[in-house]
């Protein structure tokens, strides 16, 4: 690969994501969850009492209906999630963390935080905040322009 091509945005983002995801996956192995499952648990935990259906979770996770369907099925089977009728509309099913899902999330928070700390360790002082702010802006722009 030419040196110029290695510095292009898609290549850099893909390289970072693949390495980060693989590292996170290895560190989550003892907890028997995947990075995607962790993210689903995190969103549902952070949303608290807000009703979250499958479509909302897919949007929050930046994934599609096929991926989220399989993910949710596996998480229900493993006892991390449950489906319940919406308080607002009995026809709509919402996702809720089970006690096991909440506990699993709480046990894995330190793993995620430590990995984030390691990944950002090379950035000094304000560089971390600037990097995260720029990455957030880029994500927002890409999500709204897609």
For range 87-110, the mean pLDDT: 93
For range 94-102, the mean pLDDT: 96
For range 132-146, the mean pLDDT: 87
- The class that CATH gives domain 3-145 is mainly alpha
What is the 3-class SS of the chain, one letter each residue?
CCHHHHCCHHHHHHHHHHHHHHHHHHHHHHHCCCHHHHHHHHHHHHHCCCCCCHHHHHHHCCCCHHHHHHHHHHHHHCCCEEEEECCCCCCCEEEEECHHHHHHHHHHHHHHHHHHHHHHCCCCCHHHHHHHHHHHHHHHHHHHHC
Inter-CA distances, 56 with 36, 68, 70, 137, Å: 15, 10, 15, 21
pLDDT at 2: 54
Q: Given the structure tokens 């292009």, which residue do they identify?
A: 8
Question: Taking a C-beta distance cutoff of 8 angstroms, is the pair 135, 127 a contact?
Answer: no
pLDDT at 85: 85
**What are the structural domain ranges in the chain?**
3-145
Q: In residues, how long is the chain?
A: 146
Instruction: Please write the tens of the pLDDT for every residue from 42-67.
Output: 999 999 989 999 999 999 998 988 89
Whole-model pTM: value is: 0.88
Burial category of 48 from C-beta neighbours within 10 Å (exposed 0-12, middle 13-18, buried 19 and up): exposed
Helix axes 35-47, 9-28, angle to 10 degrees: 90
pLDDT at 110: 98
Confidence of residue 3 (pLDDT cuts 50, 70, 90): low
pLDDT at 5: 58
What is the chain's mean pLDDT, rounded?
Answer: 91
pLDDT at 81: 97
Selected residue with higher pLDDT from 92 and 118: 118
pLDDT at 143: 80
């Amino acid at each position: 690969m030419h040196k110029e091509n290695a510095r292009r945005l898609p290549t850099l983002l893909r390289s970072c994501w693949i390495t980060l995801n693989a590292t996170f996956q290895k560190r989550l192995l003892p907890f028997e969850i995947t990075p995607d499952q962790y993210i689903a648990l995190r969103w549902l935990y952070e949303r608290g009492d807000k009703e979250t259906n499958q479509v909302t979770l897919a949007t929050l996770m930046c994934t599609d209906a096929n991926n989220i369907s399989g993910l949710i099925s596996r998480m229900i089977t493993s006892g991390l999630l449950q489906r319940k009728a919406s308080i607002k509309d009995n026809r709509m099913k919402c996702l809720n963390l089970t006690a096991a899902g909440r506990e699993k999330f709480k046990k894995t928070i330190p793993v995620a935080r430590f990995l984030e700390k390691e990944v950002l360790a090379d950035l000094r002082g304000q560089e971390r905040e600037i990097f995260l702010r720029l990455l957030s802006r880029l994500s927002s722009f890409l999500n709204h322009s897609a």
